[in-house]
Structure 1
Amino acid sequence: MLFKTALAVAACLVPTLASANDEALQFQIESELAYLKVGYGIESVEVRAEGVRTQVIVGVDTFVSNFSDVMWDTAQRASLMSPAPVLLLAVEQHSAFGNASGKRLCYLRARKGQVFEGTC
């Protein structure tokens, strides 16, 4: 009986714990993107939490010409901010596919700070 009660309580807590993790990851991603937004011309940022997955939509207004600087800077900060690989791929995608005349949107899916799917 005690086991069933404990199991019921645990089942009720799972969505709460997942939600808390999503919010923490979302905050970390938004914080890091806000940092890059100022220094590297990232124009807009939107983060959507979807269960254990987080969708990051990044818009840039100019071609990222200093990608090596962004990569080094992001790598330096990776020990402090777990979503750094998400940001690195976001900037890399824009560096590869963006152009000086128009805006690009990149759609990334992240799990625990690691990108496992991305389209640009």
Structure 2
Amino acid sequence: MQNIGIFVSPCFTTNRTEDSHLGYDYLTSSGVQEVRYQFNYGYGFGYGSSSLPNGSKCQGAEDGSGFSVKNNAAGASNGDSRSHRIFYYSNQQGTYQTIESGHNENLIAALKNENASSARL
């Protein structure tokens, strides 16, 4: 794998396997609650001025802020100690691309804006 470019954009950060980049629903005593994953506006991650691998940064107020993560990512920056794999379908199915630790990558054509889940390897 090769490092490609520097990303300065809204980010979705995770260090775990995500069955769906859409998010999930859960039941509480007051009913069903939704959790929907979105690209961050630049607040709350603690990465606003800190770098991800190779100079990439999470930064808000750019195109993509507030949009759903599912089927909207064009690249990935892996700051985790383990590799992550991006999948076309939910539940880690279909075409995938592995992003090695410390790498920045544009997603391959089959996954660009067609990312539904991911796995921490």
TM-score of the superposition, structure 1-length normalised? Answer: 0.27
TM-score of the superposition, structure 2-length normalised? Answer: 0.27
Rg: which structure is higher? 1
